[in-house]
Chain A
Amino acid sequence: MQAFIRHTGKVIPLDRANVDTDALLPKQYLKSISKFGFADWLFDDFRYLDPGDVNTDTSSRRLNPDFVLNKPGFEGGSVLLSRANFGCGSSREHAVWALRDYGIRVVLASSFADIFYNNCFKNGILPLALPVEKISQLFQLCKDSESLELTVDLENCQIRISESETWSFTIDAGRRENLLTGRDEIAVTLLQSDVIRQFESHLQQREPWAF
């Protein structure tokens, strides 16, 4: 997993609440058995005017000029800004892989759905829940300027909006550590193998039917 220490990028404003995982990556793309190659299908239903599936040549599809990813000025954006309950719906990690493959490193929203939030941390994406007012303020800044660029500094838990404006945020220590180091979470858990084994054998004595 790619580590995340500090990231500076252009903000892509997606002004809606309840962005669900079907919207992030429609189900016809769940058929891939690979973990990569989802970039062209991110927000597929919004992004293209005609339908597609894994076999469609993306370059032949018509882009929806009204969708933010297709608007001039947002190319190469890597900080996605949205509203409440982002990532609700199915547990598909493919939705996060699509964000990652597209180049998104940070998602800012006022709240996140549980499974989606967890999935981000496994893929080097930082999902940051900010207060509703801060989110609204960012949307306003996006409106006011051609393009908004900001820096998210995970090491110091700060977002730098401009020379004069810096916000701080809080985040789980363990999750932060995982992102900072890009470490393999499974390897970390396996350091506890003995503890797990001992627990397992006690549980097996207590509830043999559960094994």
Chain B
Amino acid sequence: MGAENSPKTLYDKIWDSRCVKNYDDGTSLIYINRHILHEVSSAQAFEGLRDSGRQPWRRESVIATPDHNVPTTERELGIDGIRDDVSRIQVKALDDNCREFDLRQFGLNDTRQGIVHVIAPEQGLTLPGMTVVCGDSHTSTHGALAALGVGIGTSEVEHVLATQCLLQRKARNMLIEINGELGTGVTAKDVVLYVIGQIGTAAGTGCTIEFAGSTIRALTMEGRMTVCNMAIEVGARAGLVAFDDVTAAYVKGRPHAPAGEQWQQAIDHWRNLHSDAGAHFDEIFRFDAADIRPQVTWGTSPEMVAPVDALVPDPDVQKDAGRASDYRAALEYMGLQASQPLTSINVDRVFIGSCTNSRIEDIRAVAAVVEGKKLASTVKQGLVVPGSGLVKRQAEKEGLDLIIKAAGFEWREPGCSMCLGMNADQLQPGEHSASTSNRNFVGRQGIGGRTHLVSPAMAAAAAIAGHFVDISKGGW
């Protein structure tokens, strides 16, 4: 750690402002402002609290909501209406635990319920400069608000509940700078997929990544959340974007945002949430927005990605033997031929949702593409799953649901849904999806399922065409 007045990165600043204690071995106790809980990674943490007779340190810091395996239909029946026994037990356990420990929950039938990483920013529960944890790897999403969002395991969930602190070793600073204007049809999702393709899924291990540059500055808050969301896909611990007017405009007026006199105080404080000129980054990558085309993943890792107008790579021409065998295995699983055009891949199901792309802007992008069109007859299902009850309500207010339904899509209740297929929304073996989620691992969306990660507009266009299309061309 540098001297007090040496230039600091944004990460250094948040870290220093939340550091309670440094231990001799290089680990530190970091104070946590916001703790988000969901049904899958919390039950065992509560069990631990009970076993040791401990209580939550600061109840007000906690917000809980069920999202990972809630059904996206038939919500009116509440928890008892969840048909899958194990899912019901888990959602009920969260409900019971919140009651027992007196914690705030947006329950299954609350309009504020939704995906953890969508609802906290939406409610102003994530604010600039905060430390945010959740037992979920995509907690990096919150970095879009210049907050330090860190995904943690269940033992750490228990640790934070009991102590309000997380034991961490400071990560290294990485800067990813993207400059220039994005082309037609190129979105935040394409930016982050492109970056992952360029640097690989392990490049960020042990790092906190700050995304900067004019391209990032020009993104909306939703777009920045999409980018930070996938920081974890390069192995980073967290992603960050500096505070600016876009951040301020997004936060202002949210239910838990400061108001009145405190708002001005907060703004003055938040203005400092950027990296100082001359701050040291351990690693720097720079990209040009003009090089980025709409992206499609063709393999079983997010780094296996290419521009939509490219061909599926040929494993035989890969120089690295390990890479060649990874590519071969991926193509076999995906049922693809080397050198086949990505636009020749037919899709069976289309999933629009997940903490990467389920915010209002994403739903608008989908509606804009599908308006007045119909799902291709070969596409078995088009699912649109809003990220929260409030996103759903807003979309309905704008009439987007009607456009989407008229095009033949199903309009669902909020949750993680087919992002990980823990509920009934799953791919069947061999099926290809165009998915706006963040992971295309083997079996992620259902056993034998073949996931292609794309932006919302690209997913919507694939649903209409029946195969991937280049939305930067031909009037999409």
Q: Is A72 an interface residue (CB 8 A)?
A: no
Residue of A174, A184, A192 near B21 (CB, 8 A) is: A192
By a CB distance below 8 angstroms, the chain B residues around A163 are none
**B23, B205, B439: which has the most chain A beta carbons within 10 Å?**
B205
Q: Is B80 an interface residue (CB 8 A)?
A: no
Segment from B155-163, B220-228, B341-349 that makes contact with A: B155-163
Q: Is A23 an interface residue (CB 8 A)?
A: yes
Do B201 and A85 touch (CB < 8 A)?
yes
Knowing A27-B421, A85-B235, A90-B137 touch, does A22 contact B442 (C-beta < 8 A)?
A: yes
Do A186 and B54 touch (CB < 8 A)?
yes
By a CB distance below 8 angstroms, the chain A residues around B17 are 203
Q: Is B406 an interface residue (CB 8 A)?
A: no
Interface members, chain B 73-109 (any A CB < 8 Å)? 86-87, 89-90, 93
Residue of A28, A45, A114, A123 near B422 (CB, 8 A) is: A28
* A132 to B114 Cα, complex, angstroms: 42
Do A45 and B153 touch (CB < 8 A)?
no
Q: How far is the CB of B286 from chain A (nearest CB, A)?
A: 24
Q: Is A189 an interface residue (CB 8 A)?
A: yes
Do A173 and B25 touch (CB < 8 A)?
yes
Do B205 and A113 touch (CB < 8 A)?
yes
Residue of A23, A92, A114 near B41 (CB, 8 A) is: A92
Q: Is A82 an interface residue (CB 8 A)?
A: no
Residue of A189, A206, A208 near B163 (CB, 8 A) is: A189
* A122 to B155 Cα, complex, angstroms: 7
* A175 to B169 Cα, complex, angstroms: 11
Residue of A nearest to B236 (CB): A114
Q: Is B365 an interface residue (CB 8 A)?
A: no
Q: Residues 151-175 of chain B: 1 if any A CB is under 8 Å from the residue's CB, otherwise 0?
A: 1111110110011110101000000
Q: How far is the CB of B84 from chain A (nearest CB, A)?
A: 8
Residue of B nearest to A51 (CB): B447
Residue of B89, B152, B439, B447 near A115 (CB, 8 A) is: B152
Q: Is B29 an interface residue (CB 8 A)?
A: yes
By a CB distance below 8 angstroms, the chain A residues around B301 are 18
Do A119 and B153 touch (CB < 8 A)?
yes
Residue of A nearest to B92 (CB): A33
**B47, B130, B159: which has the most chain A beta carbons within 10 Å?**
B159
* A193 to B20 Cα, complex, angstroms: 11
Knowing A89-B137, A113-B235, A115-B151 touch, does A174 contact B25 (C-beta < 8 A)?
A: yes
Q: How far is the CB of A92 from chain B (nearest CB, A)?
A: 7
**A31, A96, A195: which has the most chain B beta carbons within 10 Å?**
A31
Do B129 and A186 touch (CB < 8 A)?
no
Q: How far is the CB of A11 from chain B (nearest CB, A)?
A: 21
Do B136 and A200 touch (CB < 8 A)?
no
Q: How far is the CB of A176 from chain B (nearest CB, A)?
A: 9
**B24, B52, B136, B163: which has the most chain A beta carbons within 10 Å?**
B163
Do A33 and B322 touch (CB < 8 A)?
no
Q: Is B199 an interface residue (CB 8 A)?
A: no
Residue of B129, B135, B169 near A210 (CB, 8 A) is: B129
Q: Residues 169-211 of chain A: 1 if any B CB is under 8 Å from the residue's CB, otherwise 0?
A: 0001111010000001110011011011001100100111111
Do B201 and A185 touch (CB < 8 A)?
no
* A53 to B137 Cα, complex, angstroms: 23
Q: Is B247 an interface residue (CB 8 A)?
A: no
Knowing A31-B86, A192-B29 touch, does A88 contact B159 (C-beta < 8 A)?
A: no
Do B23 and A211 touch (CB < 8 A)?
no
Do A209 and B156 touch (CB < 8 A)?
no
Q: Is A118 an interface residue (CB 8 A)?
A: yes
Q: Is B326 an interface residue (CB 8 A)?
A: yes
Residue of B20, B156, B442 near A192 (CB, 8 A) is: B20
Interface residues of B toward A: which range?
35 or more
Interface members, chain B 253-267 (any A CB < 8 Å)? 257-258, 262, 265-266
* A115 to B136 Cα, complex, angstroms: 10
Do B69 and A174 touch (CB < 8 A)?
no
Do A96 and B422 touch (CB < 8 A)?
no
Q: Is B237 an interface residue (CB 8 A)?
A: yes
Q: Is A68 an interface residue (CB 8 A)?
A: no
Q: Is A34 an interface residue (CB 8 A)?
A: yes
Do A31 and B159 touch (CB < 8 A)?
no
Do B163 and A186 touch (CB < 8 A)?
yes
* A85 to B441 Cα, complex, angstroms: 14
Residue of B nearest to A176 (CB): B25
Do A174 and B40 touch (CB < 8 A)?
no
Q: Is A111 an interface residue (CB 8 A)?
A: yes
Do B159 and A185 touch (CB < 8 A)?
yes
Q: How far is the CB of B72 from chain A (nearest CB, A)?
A: 16
Q: Is A161 an interface residue (CB 8 A)?
A: no
Do A45 and B443 touch (CB < 8 A)?
yes
Q: Residues 35-59 of chain B: 1 if any A CB is under 8 Å from the residue's CB, otherwise 0?
A: 0000011011001100010100110
17 CB contacts below 8 A, A to B, read: A20-B441, A22-B441, A27-B421, A31-B86, A33-B89, A111-B205, A113-B205, A119-B154, A123-B155, A174-B26, A184-B52, A189-B159, A200-B164, A209-B127, A209-B258, A210-B129, A211-B33
What 12 new A-B contacts, CB under 8 Å, besides A32-B86, A35-B44, A93-B153?
A85-B201, A91-B151, A113-B205, A118-B152, A119-B153, A172-B25, A174-B26, A175-B25, A189-B165, A193-B163, A199-B20, A209-B265
Q: Give the 10 A-B CB pairs with smallest separation, nearest first.
A: A122-B155, A209-B258, A31-B86, A33-B43, A173-B25, A93-B153, A174-B25, A119-B153, A93-B154, A91-B137
